């Protein structure tokens, strides 16, 4: 859990500072680079993104039930503000995994960002550095981890940034154990503050938006930069070429779209595009990635080996059941992220916010618990913190900001969320993050009851 942080009366609050910037610019006819409301931001991003980018970034599993339940859970809570509380200054700072953070916000890992912008990860990293928010670098990133870490650190303000490391690293557990060790070592060498192991994507969920377009960014060489920059992965690729191992489930018809895909693979692979077009390695890298990137056999015994494989704090992402939360800490997790992958994996899964409440009831206040999925505003962050989260990850909104206005768009999305959080704290009487624990919430609809899939006959 977080420690108390005393507000600094010499520093302007995040909310007032952001309002002041916007209104002063407005005098000159300058508007924010991105809409300040969640719905407007999403609409603006949709107008900007390609169909394939929108399908991947905004898409969800099945009929979108989990995606919708995430938002419905947040919307079901009502805040009861308190008056005359005398809160003049607020502190958003907190401590997570022993790291001093300037706010309880992190940027969630989002793969295949090159769909939105070729330099997506570098732009997000710089925005994260400038807003002093840790960026959880995606294992399916579009730039190498080392370059992303350098961009994040290079954008931080000396003397003004908090003491957090600037970035964490997300790991998808490959079927190749040496590759797993390589990725862990690279995370350590890059200065990552934690290793975030995603548990809920041992296979891809059924995602109609992508399927209807026949679009998987990885098959076009997008989102595999952590692999093509890894010497162990490249050794596997070259061995497969020597052994004439073919990947996939069948041949590819030669069509204009297939040629475009080949060009995309060549452009995203390290090295000159023309050379890559003449080499079998880029295509083999894509096929190898699709074969080995995730391990359907991942189990608790494998996860228990992590504490012997890394000195980094270990975070398990994708926990929804209280039993799994207990098991995660039993096998050595330092923290968990309650998450349903933004509704992208199981259609009709429990909302992350509802799962958070059940997890906290089971494990108590001591263990470190973060949350993602469904978070759109600073008010949402406040509700999640009040219900037991130690920190919150923001996913789709920062990608929407990237689509609308690049690096500045990401930065403004973060600033807007933190401003909204700060003003919510001011209006409910919470001087710090610990004070949000006292915020009164009422649920406008009954909480979902726990049922089993087995019907009573």
Which residues are catalytic, by number? 341
Tell me 32's DSSP state.
Answer: P
Query: Which token pair is 226?
Result: 């952590």
- As given in the structure block, the two tokens for residue 84 are 């005359």
Q: Enter the tokens of residue 152.
A: 């994040």
CA-based nearest residue to 139, from 173, 114, 105:
173
- Residue 106 pairs with which residues in a beta bridge? 393
Q: Rounded to the nearest 5°, which phi and psi values hold at 235? A: -65, -40
Task: Give the residue among 328, 334, 337, 336 at the shortest CA–CA distance from 311.
Answer: 334
Total residues found in the chain within this entry: 457
How many other CB atoms are found less than 10 A from the CB of residue 331? 16
Are 152 and 167 in contact by the 8 Å Cβ rule? The answer is: yes
In 30-100, alpha helices (H): 38-48, 51-58, 65-75
Residue 220 in contact with residue 264, Cβ under 8 Å?
Answer: yes
Distance between CA atoms of 323 and 304, rounded to whole angstroms? 16
Instruction: Kindly provide the b/e burial profile for residues 264-297, where b requires at least 16 CB atoms within 10 angstroms of the residue's own CB.
Output: bbbbbbeeeeeebeeeebbbbbbbbbbbbbbbee
CA distances from 210 to 63, 140, 205, 213, 349 (A): 13, 17, 11, 5, 20
d(CA 170, CA 138) in angstroms, rounded, equals 5
């Amino acid at each position: 859990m977080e420690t108390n942080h005393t507000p600094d009366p010499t520093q302007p609050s995040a909310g007032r500072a952001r309002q002041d910037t916007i209104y002063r610019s407005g005098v000159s006819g300058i508007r924010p680079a991105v809409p300040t409301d969640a719905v407007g931001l999403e609409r603006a991003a949709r107008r900007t993104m390609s169909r394939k980018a929108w399908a991947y970034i905004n898409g969800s599993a099945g009929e979108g039930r989990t995606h919708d339940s995430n938002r419905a859970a947040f919307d079901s809570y009502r805040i009861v503000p308190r008056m005359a509380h005398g809160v003049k200054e607020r502190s958003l700072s907190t401590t997570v995994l022993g790291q001093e953070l300037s706010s309880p916000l992190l940027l969630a890992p989002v793969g295949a960002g090159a769909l939105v912008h070729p330099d997506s990860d570098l732009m997000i990293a710089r925005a994260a550095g400038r807003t002093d928010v840790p960026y959880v670098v995606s294992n399916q990133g579009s730039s190498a981890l080392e370059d992303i870490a350098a961009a994040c650190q290079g954008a931080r303000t000396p003397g003004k940034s908090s003491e957090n490391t600037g970035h964490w690293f997300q790991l998808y557990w490959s079927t190749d154990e040496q590759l797993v060790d390589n990725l862990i070592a690279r995370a350590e060498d890059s200065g990552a503050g934690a290793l975030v192991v995603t548990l809920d994507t041992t296979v891809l969920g059924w995602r109609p938006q992508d399927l209807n377009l026949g679009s998987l960014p990885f098959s076009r060489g997008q989102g595999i930069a952590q692999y093509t920059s890894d010497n162990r992965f490249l050794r596997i690729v070259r061995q497969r070429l020597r052994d004439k191992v073919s990947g996939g489930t069948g041949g590819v018809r030669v069509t204009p779209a297939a040629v475009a895909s080949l060009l995309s693979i060549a452009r995203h692979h390290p090295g000159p595009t023309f050379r890559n077009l003449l080499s079998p390695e880029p295509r083999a890298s894509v096929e190898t990635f699709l074969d080995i990137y995730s391990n359907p056999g991942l189990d608790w015994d494998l996860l228990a080996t992590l504490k012997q494989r890394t000195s980094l704090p270990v975070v398990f992402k994708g926990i929804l059941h209280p039993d799994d939360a207990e098991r995660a800490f039993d096998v050595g997790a330092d923290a968990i992220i309650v998450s349903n992958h933004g509704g992208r994996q199981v259609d009709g899964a429990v909302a992350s916010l509802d799962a958070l409440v059940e997890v906290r009831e089971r494990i108590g206040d001591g263990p470190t618990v973060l949350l993602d999925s469904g978070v759109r505003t600073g008010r949402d962050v406040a509700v999640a913190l009040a219900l037991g989260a130690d920190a919150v990850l923001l996913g789709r909104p920062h990608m929407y900001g990237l689509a609308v206005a690049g690096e500045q768009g990401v930065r403004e999305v973060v600033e807007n969320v933190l401003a909204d959080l700060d003003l919510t704290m001011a209006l409910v009487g919470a001087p710090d993050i610990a004070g949000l624990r006292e915020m009164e919430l009422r649920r406008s609809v009954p909480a979902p009851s726990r049922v089993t899939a087995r019907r009573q006959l």
